[in-house]
Every structure is written in structure tokens, then in C-alpha cells.
Amino acid sequence: MFKKLFILSFAILMTVTLFAQDGEKCHRYGGYARWFSLGSNPYVVDPVDLTANPAYAAKYTNFLWGDIGTVGDVGQFAGFNFRVNKELTVGALLTRDDFMMPSIGQLDPGGMVSQLNANVPGAAIVPLNNNLELLGAYTMGNMTLGLGIAYASTSNEFKPATGTGDKNSASQIGLNAGLDLKLTSDISLDAALSFASVSANYEPAGAGAIKVKGSQTIMMIDARMFYKMTSKIWLVPTVHFGTMSGKVEAQTSTDIPSMAQIAVGVGINYKVGDLLIAGGPSLMMESVTTPAVANASPETKDSRFIFPNWNLGAEWQFNDWLTGRFGYVANTFIFTNQTMASATTKDEQVTTGHTPGDVRFGLGFRFGGFNLDATVNDQIIRDGIGNLSNAKATFAHVSASYAF
């Protein structure tokens, strides 16, 4: 089924390439806090786009950016883009294991290291952290091509006074390529391909000890176009496809659960004066397949059909230095869960449900080239004058940037 969906998404991508059009003007501010405040909106242009598509570095030249994160310093990262000349922009991202955007900057998204540590006696693999991504974008006329590479590794080796000790190691390498194509003043397309490979190894000491090796690959394809319908409205179709698969090798090779996901959405950008309204519905299908174990369990599959999935947002400029934002996210889903009934049979349960709507507020502060974007803690708004006596955090997540 997902093979057919992949072919369909590829066909849509080719159609987008032929009939794409331009959209919202790119502003050199934003980040995760802005994107989240606008309802995790895939229909707006924001610096978070360059985490998946390095071609966007050319839109955000001479740009320092990162996240201060949430309470507890969760989600912090730092990055920069520097314009070398008219055609070339180079940059870098330094991300941690709590990086929130699906991309080659996200470390061990399938939890390979933690799975081996939990299931292999003696394994003490150090989780991956501090991922360094180098990226560049090259502009040729109306087309920009981007390329990124990321790498992180850890090791943990015991060296006894005599003999040999256990060895543990992990690494991840990621590659992504992106395209930003402007066909006319009203026509543009962006597309990106990302690939990451995660490996983790445990080599116990001692005669006859069995080495355990885990590996996992992640691939994602994203495409989006902006079609200018009127002077104020742009139509924004999007396509996403992702897969994750892997195996563990010891005495034998065993496949681990695999994941596939596809999403197709259609949104709008409505821009008039200092007001931007963006959003729309999307359809998503997700599947996690657990392989069969001979004489022990059958293959089982958990799948989720989500429609409609709503990502809605609005942004308006109060004045030159203050911007307000509003977002809303909600969806309806059908979840199918399969469980083992016997070594050869399985039970299935189908549930239709709704993810409760999530209202979001945000603020943007601009002081010259410096920008501070934040999501507002909902409870602060509900407390009103009670904020004079409480000790709650005002902002849930904060991003910062500087354009020069």
C-alpha cells in the first residue's frame, strides 16, 4: 500500500514542479517558536525550513539563529548562515539530542541506542549528542541548490590492567539535498531529500563473546509549492513521505519495527497589510510494522489514518517592534492496533478518535536586526491579574535570531 502511496506522492511532486507558484515573502526572523505558535504550520516560510532543506540558507544569509528552549533548557540549539558571495552561502547547525525538527539534525529518532542498552545485558552505549551539521546553498539565476551533512558519535571502552574490556560505540551520519526554484515572479517550488544512518555497537570482552550491532536508516522527502491565486492569496500544496527501518545483528540478523508515513496537505496564505493568515487541512497515513518471529509471533502492524489534520495560524504586526501570533492544531484519526493472539494469529482493534484542539499564542520582538520569538504559556493568559503573585513561566519556548 505504501509503495502505491509513494508513487502517488512522486506523481504529485512532479505535478508541483510543473505548475508551482510563489508565496509569502521571506522575512529574516522566526524559528521553532514562531512555527509552533502558528500551529506547527507547514504552509508558512520560516527559518525552520532550512533544517530539512539546506537551499533555504540562501534566503537567510548573514543570519545567526537558535533556540533558548523551554523551561529546563530543553530544545536548545545554535546555528549560522554566512554569505560568501552573490552565489554561495555556507552555514552550520549544532544540535542536541532534544532537537525538535525532523531532519538530519535530529539524533537517533528511532531510539536505537536506548533499545540496545535496554535489551542487551552488559551494553553501556553512550547516547548520541552534540550533532554538527554543515550546509551550503548555491544560487544560479532563479534556482538554488543546497547540500548538508551532519555527524555525531560516541564511544565507551573499558581498558583493564590486563586483557581486553568491553567496547561500546554509536554514530550517526546524515545527508540532505534541497532545491528552491523560482520559475517566475509568481511561481516557486521547494523540495528536499534527507537520509540518515544510525549505528550502535557492543563488543563484549571474553572468549566466544558475541558482538551486537544495530543499524537504522531514515529517509524523508518533502515538497511544497506556492501558487499565487490573487494579489493576497496563495495556494500551498505540500507532500511528505518518510520511512524508517533497521536491524540488529548478533548470532542472527533480526529486523526491528519499521515505520512509513505519508502526508498530503493543501493550505493557503492570505496576506493583507500587516496580517498573515495561513493554514489548511492535510491527510496523513502512518504505519509501524513489527516483523514476525518464527514459531513465536506473527507480523503485526499499527496504523493510523488521520483526516482532517488542521494546522491554522495567524500573525499580525502591532507595530515595528511587536508581532502577535495565534495558532490552532487538531485532528481526527482512525487507529488500528494489532496484537499477538498466538504464534500464528493476531487480534485487531480499530478506534476512531480525536486529538483535542491545541490553542497556541506567540509574540515576536524585533529590535533592529535582533529578534526574539516566543510561545506564550497558556496559563499566563488564563491567570490574568493572578500573574502578579504566581511564579509560572511567561514563555513556553523562546527562539532568538540576528540578521546582519
Tell me the percentage of the chain whose pLDDT exceeds 70: 92
Q: How confident is the model at residue 393 (pLDDT cuts 50, 70, 90)?
A: confident
pLDDT at 244 over 80: yes
pLDDT at 389: 64
327: number of Cβ within 10 Å: 25
- Predicted local distance difference test score (pLDDT) of residue 386: 62
pLDDT beyond 50 at 117: yes
CA distance 279 to 41: 7
Question: pLDDT band at 11, cuts 50/70/90?
Answer: very low
List of long-range contacts for 281-284, beta carbons under 8 Å, 24+ apart: 281/307, 281/308, 281/309, 281/310, 282/42, 282/238, 282/307, 282/308, 282/309, 282/311, 283/307, 283/308, 283/309, 284/309
Q: What is the mean pLDDT of residues 108-129?
A: 96
Specify the pLDDT at position 21: 34
The answer to whether the CB of 203 falls within 8 A of the CB of 125 is no
Q: What's the pLDDT at 47? A: 97
Task: Work out the pLDDT band at 318, boundaries 50, 70, 90.
Answer: very high
Where do the domains of the chain lie, and which CATH numbers do they carry? Answer: 2-403 (2.40.160)
Please, which residues have CB within 8 angstroms of residue 337's CB and are 6 or more apart in sequence?
Answer: 302, 348, 349, 350, 351
Band of pLDDT at residue 388, cut at 50, 70 and 90: low
